[in-house]
């Protein structure tokens, strides 16, 4: 009895501080302890194919939505702190509950970014897959996401069609649609793009290019950039990029901008 009593006290002294500290949010409050919301994590009116919706809801929405779901361990620090850190970082990248608030350009960029991160194995996070075994992305899941990423919901814009390439318009396109994965001077999901025109593919030191890109013997010029931006997987199969610029005029403008960006 004495031993059992001592064990109970030891458990209480361990668990109680953990429960109390879980009410502290060093990385921000992700809403783990709030009652479950009545609305869906991906709103019903969101324009999204049913198979894509089911996939994202099952394997992404625990972190990438306004309605997180976590088992009982969400109530115990420091595990709760790590959960909130990952969830808040995920929401900052994209929030499926607010998908309809993104512009068509933002949605297209985010779809391509999802595929790139899934293909590289960066998402779902390893620590998430360790606990949620069914969250691993299957080859079929990747096919579903890839098909979605390659579809375009952007309306056709013919206002500039046939006009000369314009680097100023290209800069606006770059800032609006490319900076989710690329910077001119720093490596993000993609390599830095300053001086990309005239550079060999896969030649930025230290960047983890895919094997397909590293083995290609291509120099970035007007033709190769146009083919790459039209359909990267057709140009270099098994590369990590799925972002497309389907409008020919936008490709010309973007290439004109990249051509003038110095190293």
* Per-residue pLDDT reduced to its tens digit, 143-196: 898 888 877 655 555 555 668 899 999 999 998 888 878 889 998 888 999 999
Q: What pLDDT score was predicted for residue 10?
A: 47
Q: Are 164 and 170 in contact (CB under 8 A)?
A: no
What torsion, rounded to 10 degrees, do the Cα atoms 60, 63, 65, 68 define? 120
Residue 175 phi, psi dihedral angles, 5° rounding: -65, -30
* Per-residue pLDDT reduced to its tens digit, 195-233: 999 999 988 999 888 888 888 888 999 999 999 999 888
Q: What pLDDT score was predicted for residue 220?
A: 92
Q: Are 237 and 212 in contact (CB under 8 A)?
A: yes
Q: Are 118 and 137 in contact (CB under 8 A)?
A: yes
Which residues make up the CATH 1.10.760.10 domain(s) of the chain? 167-260
Q: What pLDDT score was predicted for residue 197?
A: 92
Q: CB neighbours of 213 closer than 8 A, spacing ≥ 6?
A: 201, 202, 236, 239, 240
Looking at domain 167-260, which CATH architecture does it have?
Orthogonal Bundle (1.10)
Residue 4 confidence (pLDDT) above 70: no
Residue 255 confidence (pLDDT) above 90: yes
Q: How confident is the model at residue 20 (pLDDT cuts 50, 70, 90)?
A: low
* Per-residue pLDDT reduced to its tens digit, 101-133: 888 888 888 888 888 888 877 788 777 777 777
Least confident of 25-29, 41-45, 226-230: 25-29
Distances (CA, A) of 142 to 49, 107, 111, 114, 234: 14, 18, 12, 10, 17
Q: What pLDDT score was predicted for residue 41?
A: 82
Distance CA 102, CA 124 (A): 22
What percent of the chain is modeled with pLDDT above 90? 20
Distance CA 231, CA 163 (A): 22
DSSP state of 250: H
State the chain's mean pLDDT as an integer.
81
Q: What pLDDT score was predicted for residue 229?
A: 92
For residue 194, how many C-alpha atoms fall within 13 Å in the half-sphere facing its CB? 7
Q: Are 229 and 251 in contact (CB under 8 A)?
A: yes
Q: What pLDDT score was predicted for residue 162?
A: 65
Residue 249 confidence (pLDDT) above 90: yes
Classify the phi-psi angles of 161: left when phi > 0, otherwise alpha if psi is within -120 to 50, otherwise beta: beta
Average pLDDT over residues 73-94: 81
pTM check: above 0.75: no
Residue 14 confidence (pLDDT) above 60: no
Q: What pLDDT score was predicted for residue 110?
A: 87
Give the residue with greater pLDDT, 55 vs 22: 55
Q: CB neighbours of 17 closer than 8 A, spacing ≥ 6?
A: none
CB burial of residue 68 (10 Å; 0-12, 13-18, 19+): buried
Give the residue with greater pLDDT, 135 vs 214: 214
Give the residue with greater pLDDT, 166 vs 24: 166
């Amino acid at each position: 009895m004495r031993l059992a009593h001592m064990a109970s006290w030891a458990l209480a002294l361990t668990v109680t501080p953990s429960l109390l500290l879980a009410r502290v949010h060093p990385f921000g409050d992700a809403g783990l302890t709030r009652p479950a919301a009545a609305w869906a994590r991906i709103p019903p009116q969101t324009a999204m194919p049913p198979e894509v919706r089911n996939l994202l809801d099952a394997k992404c929405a625990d972190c990438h939505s306004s309605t997180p779901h976590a088992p009982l361990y969400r109530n115990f620090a420091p595990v709760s702190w790590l959960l909130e850190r990952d969830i808040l970082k995920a929401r900052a990248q994209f929030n499926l509950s607010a998908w309809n608030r993104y512009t068509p350009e933002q949605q297209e960029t985010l779809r391509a970014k999802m595929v790139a991160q899934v293909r590289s194995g960066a998402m779902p996070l390893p620590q998430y897959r360790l606990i949620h075994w069914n969250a691993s992305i299957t080859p079929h899941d990747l096919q579903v996401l890839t098909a979605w990423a390659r579809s375009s919901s952007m309306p056709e814009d013919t206002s500039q069609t046939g006009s000369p390439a314009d680097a100023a318009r290209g800069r606006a396109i770059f800032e609006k649609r490319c900076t989710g994965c690329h910077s001119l001077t720093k490596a993000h999901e993609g390599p830095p793009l300053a001086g990309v025109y005239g550079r060999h593919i896969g030649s930025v030191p230290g960047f983890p290019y895919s094997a397909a890109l590293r083995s290609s013997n291509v120099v970035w010029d007007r033709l190769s950039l146009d083919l790459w931006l039209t359909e990267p997987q057709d140009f270099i199969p098994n590369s990590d990029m799925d972002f497309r610029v389907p409008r020919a005029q936008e490709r010309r403008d973007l290439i004109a901008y990249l051509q003038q960006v110095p190293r």
